[in-house]
Structures are given as structure tokens and as C-alpha cells.
Amino acid sequence: MGMIGLLGTGQLGVPFVCSDSRVLTFSQMTKKKAARFASHAVIGQKPVLEYVGPDTDTITMRIRLDAMLGVPPSVGLMALERMVASGQPHLLLIGMEYHGQFVITSLDIENRHFTGSGVARIADIQIELKEVADGGITGLLSLFA
């Protein structure tokens, strides 16, 4: 089984995998990096900006849960909804790159292709993640302590 990445760990985790029996991957991953600035009013002039520091990263990605690819939407959605409800940060690892700790701020779910009994066979999900400052590699190492 080819492990592509991981969002979360243990019971609250979604492994991104690709094998002959199961495909759960992501697409359209975008990462937004930004800086924070304070604005200081100056009488009769434009405000002066002061760099305050880096802002937390935001990542969005699309995931397809497909029963024909070994991942029934009901099972995958249950895991993702538990992760949202927990409010806890989850590690994001793609390949060998550790992106940090993230909370899931939103899930946009589009259920498609229903069975005769009304069960969705495919769900396309847009996930939005917001970084939780964790001290870089220190945060990753703390997961294994």
C-alpha cells in the first residue's frame, strides 16, 4: 500500500493511500502564507504599517470518498466530522514533508451518485485547514513522546 500522507493520527486520523484495494488521495492542495501588519494612524497622512510577524498558514484541499475505490463516504465522513468536532490540532504530513499542526475549520461536502436506498456512493469534500503554531519540528517530535 502506497502511503502518500496523513492528516491526524490514531482514531482521529485520515491516511492518504493508494493501493489496488483502496484509493484515498487529495487534489488541488493550496497553501496560503501571509504576514501580519499593524496599522498606525498618522494625522494628515496615510497610515504607517509595522510588520508584526508571520501569520498562520491556511491549506485547502479536495478529497474524493468513493465506495468503488474502497472508501465509502459514510466511513470517511464520520472520521473527518469527528476531527472537526474535536477542535484538536492534527498533524499534516505529505510525503516526507511535515507541514505542521492544523485544525479543520470547514468541510464542504457534495454527496453524489446515490444508491437505490439513498446512500451516497461518492462524496467530494473541500477541506480547509488552519495552522496552529506548534514550534516547527518540536511539535512533530512531541507527538512521539
Among 12-21, 79-88, 133-142, the range with the most confident prediction by mean pLDDT is 79-88
CATH code for position 91: 2.40.30.200
Report pLDDT digits (tens) over 29-62: 999 999 999 999 999 999 999 999 999 999 999 9
Mean pLDDT of 108-124: 85
Domain with 135 in it: 2-142
Structural domains in the chain (count)? 1
Predicted local confidence at residue 131, as pLDDT: 94
Structure pTM?
A: 0.78
| Contacting residues for 124 by C-beta, under 8 A, at least 6 apart | 62, 63, 64, 109, 110, 112
